[in-house]
A and B are shown apart, each in its own frame.
Chain A
């Protein structure tokens, strides 16, 4: 069994190594016809840019994106600089140099990778999946009898912020930086999944399709790990199935199929303000131009945030979204599960959390207010501030850096819910509902708590669960995503997630049992 595990690890690492090397490999050669096609698709009117590329790029062979990308970037910068200087604003190119290089790269498909997509898929995703499963599945036997399986978590380099964790950190951060800021280096990855994308939406894959596909693959493989690790705990089994279903069907398949049916790309479960660009002008226009389905999405999107989300939180707590449906939560609960113990439980972190997450919510709301004002008043500025620049700031700082690079990249160091705990504006909104008007609570079982601290250690949201449990208080915290792990790891059966009447939900006083009633009255006196 151990041998199978090790073989699996080697296979996985080979797949990962090939995948990691791909951005720098491959040959690019764009011919005249493809170049002309690109110019017309992108509606490029800058003769400077066209001439530059004609001279330096078209027809030539480039080894690796690193030799092609700077040429495109330079051409773009020079052309734009000249047009601005000459006040030829209509000729200015607004496509970013990364997107332009990616588009050229994608059109210059030649060489081994582009011609052997199936084989390359097997050598990357295929080896990765097979290797990971070979590594994970022997645990059915190796972990022994069902029960809590946290042995050695703080002895392993990978789960105790050791060197493996730091390598994973570097890999994840690098991956997200490419995805958000250097998408031209993802061109080779898009070839791997082109056949799948074409099968679904009919279009070749872009780098976001790579991300979506990879997200589903990673979640599925790590869900297998969850099923094995928590096989004694039905709540975890059901919950894991739920997040997996919503990711694959709602976040991945349905939007792609909608594109094939000439409908707008839309993830029906992605609620504003997590879906922060829902009210952006381009999206509203696209929806309004898409006939019935566009209108339906518009109404659904608004109703989701204003009615469905709060009503469901009232009945079930925010867990129904954050740890049962949400994509960010889904990744955190599968890929991120080995890192859940790294969330800081200090009072200081809690203070930071409240400032940050509510700050982001305010930011999102203000930005959307400006966006809607701009849309209806048909103006680009509000009080002299450009709406576009606020949107760009939010997209960059919150949408890309916070949610992506930090949110997932920092898993191995700061735990798996950094974004959900410190940044997600939807979580902040749901948190208000959960805290002040909900039937959800984690009930503390009388006086059984022995203050061992397993619950606090494994709370991914950094809640000091023990602080409540040892006083006999129920846990009613806005940040709780209801993952249920505190209850699972408790050795004394003290914690239970449940939805019940609002009366008695927040036990107003300590209800430790065992002491006689008179003493409890005295203890509870403030």
Chain B
């Protein structure tokens, strides 16, 4: 029986394991040094905040793995010996494989800041990081202040976590406005306001210079390029993540920033595949980046590689880009491509609407020449994925999107509708006279 070994029990590795089991009778082994069982990394913040217990982050009950004959090995892989098709573990043991899937995910970035390895300085990625934060910042008495470095999604989550325990937070963001490398200016500005509403000391355009240690060698303060020294008990480093592939350095597997793979998620070595955060496409697919550290792409790569392993060689073809996040109380969804002013394409034009009272806004990107709808960002309004996916495939124009926006609304029942206001702003911006059509189940369920 063919033995498939997967390194990493995150969403990518576990999805691969599940789908290989669905499609075959192969022997499956998952090796992880992080936890005994698969858990949802995205939910770690809710454990610290007391919304959930750690066990709630595990999507499958503990009996699931044995029942589905997925062997779980807790251990750290030191080396991959592809000539002998063998993994050497840190504890000296080894595992031989017929096919190997590398799904080791990411690790937090560190950019060589002085003091970055002091106790009290940490990222937020793994279960171990969560445990460390629980030790470093159990309450506002032990942790008098935390400084978070890096204005991305993990940074703002970490700020929210610490604020849930009333710990004062200073948030250093390199950009002049939060996440404005990704979001258009209006949206980024709205989040700035929201961060301040949550009593987070947001410092825009500010870089970390050095982390200072106290007499015990623990972090006690940071200095910034604005000349400030900020006393703190914890420093959160959240300046992005990069593939966790150090153990492969001398393995002969081709590496860039991540493990280089082709469209079939195959590495340069036969029978070795890489998926999820640690995989790097030779060239980005469409406008996607070569490394996509996103939950659902990990899942999709797992589904894809499982097909290939089960004798049905399949290329990884992600569809239209989408994503979502939550910034404190603000829900964000995106479908298609809306670039920030910095990354804006030449033909791209934006329509922006923001509610006068609530923290709700949308930005629609479209082609300035033929009006083709390119993408939408929404804050505080939920939208239907299937509808936007279809509109993108059908290459609808922006007027159509405004007209049928009610079909796409996914807010809970009784929520205030915003389509009329959005259409009014659009009409006044572009001199059109679109009136939004009533929601139609028939259109929602019709398939192209």
Q: Give A contacts to B, CB under 8 Å.
A: 144-148, 150-156, 232-235, 237-238, 346-347, 443, 445-448, 450-454, 456-457, 466-467, 470, 484, 487-489, 491-493, 496-498, 500-501, 503-504, 511-516, 518-519, 522-523
Contact = CB atoms under 8 A, between A and B. Distances in A.
27 contacts: A145-B329, A150-B46, A150-B49, A150-B51, A151-B49, A151-B50, A153-B51, A232-B329, A238-B414, A446-B386, A448-B296, A448-B333, A451-B43, A453-B56, A456-B56, A457-B52, A457-B56, A487-B412, A492-B325, A493-B383, A493-B410, A497-B413, A500-B444, A513-B322, A515-B304, A516-B318, A518-B314
A511 B386 contact: yes
Contacts of B319: 513-516
A443 B383 CA distance: 12
Given A496-B382, A501-B441, A452 B413 contact: no
Contact of A152 (B49, B295, B307): B49
A146 B295 CA distance: 27
- Most chain A beta-carbon neighbours within 10 Å: one of B51, B325, B333, B389: B51
Interface of B: 11, 19, 40, 42-43, 46-47, 49-53, 56-59, 61, 164, 194, 197-198, 295-297, 299-300, 303-304, 307, 312, 314, 317-320, 322, 324-326, 328-329, 331, 333, 382-386, 389, 410-416, 441, 444-445
Contacts of A450: 40, 42-43, 295-296, 324
Given A446-B386, A487-B412, A514 B300 contact: yes
Contact of B307 (A147, A346, A522): A522
Contact of B52 (A154, A232, A487, A498): A154
Given A151-B49, A516-B319, A145 B197 contact: yes
A515 B302 CA distance: 11
A360 to B, nearest CB: 26
- Across chains A and B, which 4 residue pairs bring their CB atoms closest together, nearest first? A446-B385, A147-B329, A493-B382, A452-B43
Contact of B324 (A454, A492, A522): A492
Contact of A155 (B50, B300, B412): B50
- Most chain B beta-carbon neighbours within 10 Å: one of A152, A154, A346, A451: A451
Contacts of B411: 496
A515 B314 CA distance: 12
B69 to A, nearest CB: 18
A504 B415 CA distance: 24
Contacts of A516: 317-319
Contact of A522 (B312, B328, B444): B312
Contacts of B53: 154
A452 B328 contact: no
A148 B61 contact: no
Nearest to A347: B61
A234 B417 CA distance: 12
A448 B61 contact: no
Given A152-B164, A514-B319, A515-B317, A454 B412 contact: no
Contacts of B326: 491-492
Contact of B441 (A452, A487, A500): A500
Contact of B42 (A233, A451, A523): A451
B93 to A, nearest CB: 30
- Interface SS majority for chain A: loop
Contacts of A150: 46, 49-51
A518 B59 CA distance: 27
A179 B317 CA distance: 64
Nearest to B330: A147
Contacts of A144: 198
Given A235-B412, A448-B333, A513 B385 contact: yes
A359 to B, nearest CB: 25
A338 to B, nearest CB: 13
A233 B56 contact: no
B377 to A, nearest CB: 13
B333 A453 contact: no
A152 B50 contact: yes
Contact of A523 (B19, B57, B61): B19
B68 to A, nearest CB: 13
B336 to A, nearest CB: 12
B328 A515 contact: no
Contact of A234 (B295, B303, B314, B414): B414
A346 to B, nearest CB: 6
Nearest to A147: B329
Contact of B385 (A145, A151, A447, A487): A447
A154 B412 contact: no
Contact of A484 (B56, B296, B412): B412
A451 B60 CA distance: 10
A445 B413 contact: no
A233 B411 CA distance: 10
Contact of A493 (B300, B307, B314, B331): B331
B296 A514 contact: yes
Contacts of B414: 234-235, 237-238
Contacts of B328: 145, 147
Nearest to B412: A235
A246 B320 CA distance: 47
Contacts of B415: 234-235
Contacts of B11: 451
A453 B57 contact: yes
B331 A453 contact: no
B43 A453 contact: yes
Contacts of B52: 154, 453-454, 457
Contacts of A145: 194, 197-198, 328-329
Contacts of A452: 40, 42-43, 46, 57
A151 B303 contact: no
Contact of B331 (A155, A447, A491): A491
Nearest to A520: B303
- Most chain A beta-carbon neighbours within 10 Å: one of B40, B43, B325, B412: B412
Contacts of A467: 59
B317 A466 contact: no
Contacts of B46: 150, 452-454
A234 B186 CA distance: 27
Contact of A503 (B307, B318, B445): B445
A467 B58 CA distance: 11
B49 A513 contact: no
Contacts of A493: 324, 331, 333, 382-383, 410
Given A234-B416, A447-B299, 4 more contacts: A152-B49, A154-B51, A448-B333, A492-B326
A519 B61 contact: no
Contacts of A347: 61
A127 B101 CA distance: 65
Contacts of A147: 328-329
A451 B43 CA distance: 8
A492 B303 contact: no
Nearest to B318: A514
B112 to A, nearest CB: 31
A484 B43 CA distance: 20
A487 B415 CA distance: 13
A498 B300 CA distance: 28
Given A148-B329, A445-B384, A453-B43, A233 B412 contact: yes
A519 B317 contact: yes
Contacts of B325: 492
Contacts of A503: 445
A446 B58 CA distance: 21
B429 to A, nearest CB: 26
B125 to A, nearest CB: 15
Nearest to B51: A150
A454 B314 contact: no
B411 to A, nearest CB: 8
A81 B53 CA distance: 57
Contacts of B386: 445-446, 511, 513
A151 B389 CA distance: 34
B63 to A, nearest CB: 8
A242 to B, nearest CB: 11
Contacts of A443: 410
